[in-house]
Amino acid sequence: MRDKNTVVWLLLLPTIIYLAVFIGYPLFKTFVMAMSGEERPFDTFYTMFHDKTFWNALKYTLLLTVIIVPIQLVFAIALALFINKKFRGYTFLLYLIIIPLALSDITAALMSYTMFSPMGYINKILIDLGFTNRPIYFFGYMYKTREFWVIVLTEIWRATPLVFVIILAGLQSINKEYLEAADIFGFSKTQKLFKIILPLLKSSIMSALLMRTLFAFQIFGVVWMLAGRDIPVLAGETYYQYTFLNDEKMAAAYSMVIAVITLIISYFYLTTLRSKHLEEGVR
């Protein structure tokens, strides 16, 4: 038994070293930097929490996460169910869906800007169809609402394929005998979806939700390219404080807020959405 435990720890050792060196140590140094106030340890956090920009950044970060992640999940499940039917030409459609996975967030943002700019494709189509006689402006401080929804659309298009791949993998691992038994007992498509497919996809959904929520909460490139500081987000303010204001302590404080919130989100997902069959396996 002792030898078995030794082998387990030896197998885990590379991962532990990686987490300690590349995550644990930088996180500790960031915490020390954020706590090194000029007079008191919490001076930097006190200044940050009394700054209106911080609360606006937190508001927009939460708002983007709450809007984008559920839409991505619904789209991903719908696309996975459709592709899983394996109709003729489904592989070509599959490749089209996952193309955005090869794009960086900066590339996706530039493509969106090209489409929604005053001389972009969207305006040209609207003018040619007669819906408007002049370009519609989507970017600029006066058009923050439009900027916000362009960011939402860009993130949905760019990151939904990641959720889709996870859901599709889970869907293809479901034993077909469950669905065949449901057909024998006269289950409708809706009953099979909500009583068999979705419960069996719970672990895949949890993994996809966890990954996308954490990434959405760290959103930066798309927002910074399309809106700059018109729509502040936590990661963007971290970059701004460090790069433009040379305030390492404030940047570290923003980083610690992001780290704490992502840890809370991870704990919530792992404890609340954990699959029953996994809990039984642990016992």
Q: Is 57 helix (H, G, I), strand (E, B) or coil?
A: helix
**Half-sphere exposure (CA, 13 Å, Cβ side) for 49?**
7
d(CA 241, CA 108): 25
Asked whether the predicted pLDDT for residue 197 surpasses 60, the reply is: yes
Q: Among 234, 212, 243, which Cα is nearest to 59's?
A: 234
Number of neighbouring beta carbons within 10 Å of residue 132: 10
Which CATH superfamily hosts domain 42-282?
A: MetI-like (1.10.3720.10)
Please give the share of the chain, as a percent, with pLDDT higher than 90. Answer: 46
The pLDDT of 109-137, averaged and rounded, is: 91
Cβ neighbour number for residue 31 with a 10 Å cutoff: 15
What does the pLDDT read at residue 282? Answer: 39
Look at residue 58 in the predicted model and tell me its pLDDT. Answer: 95
Place 37 in a pLDDT band, splitting at 50, 70 and 90. Answer: low
pLDDT value at 248 more than 70: yes
pLDDT at 90 over 50: yes
Q: What average pLDDT does the segment 124-135 reach? A: 89
pLDDT for res 179: 84
Q: Looking at residue 274, what is its pLDDT?
A: 61
Residues of the chain with CATH 1.10.3720.10: 42-282
Predicted confidence at residue 157, as pLDDT, reads 93
Which pLDDT does position 283 carry in this prediction?
42
In the chain, how long is the greatest CA-to-CA distance?
A: 78
What does the radius of gyration of the chain's CA atoms come to, in whole angstroms? 23
Instruction: Calculate mean pLDDT across residues 76-102.
Output: 89
Mean pLDDT of 265-269: 85
Residue type, 240: Y
Sign (positive/negative) of CA torsion 233, 238, 241, 247?
positive
- Helix-helix angle 144-172:105-116, to 10 degrees: 130
Percent of the chain with pLDDT over 70: 94
Residue whose tokens read 């070293």 = 17
Q: How far apart are CA 191 and CA 35, in angstroms?
A: 54
Distances (CA, A) of 114 to 22, 24, 42, 107, 233: 37, 40, 44, 11, 23
Question: pLDDT tens digits for 138-173?
Answer: 998 899 999 999 999 999 999 999 999 999 999 988
pLDDT score of 279 more than 50: no
Please compute the mean of the pLDDT values over residues 191-209 and round it to a whole number: 89
Mean pLDDT on 211-217? 88
In this predicted structure, what is the pLDDT of residue 23?
83
Report, as an integer, the average pLDDT of 224-246: 93
Which of 227, 244, 274 has its CA nearest to residue 64?
Answer: 227
Type and span of the H or E element at 113: helix 105-116
DSSP per position, 232-274: --HHHHHHHHHHTS--HHHHHHHHHHHHHHHHHHHHHHHHHS-
When pLDDT is averaged across residues 125-130 and rounded to a whole number, the result is 90
pLDDT averaged over every residue in the chain: 88
Q: Can you point out the beta strands (E) in 50-113?
A: none
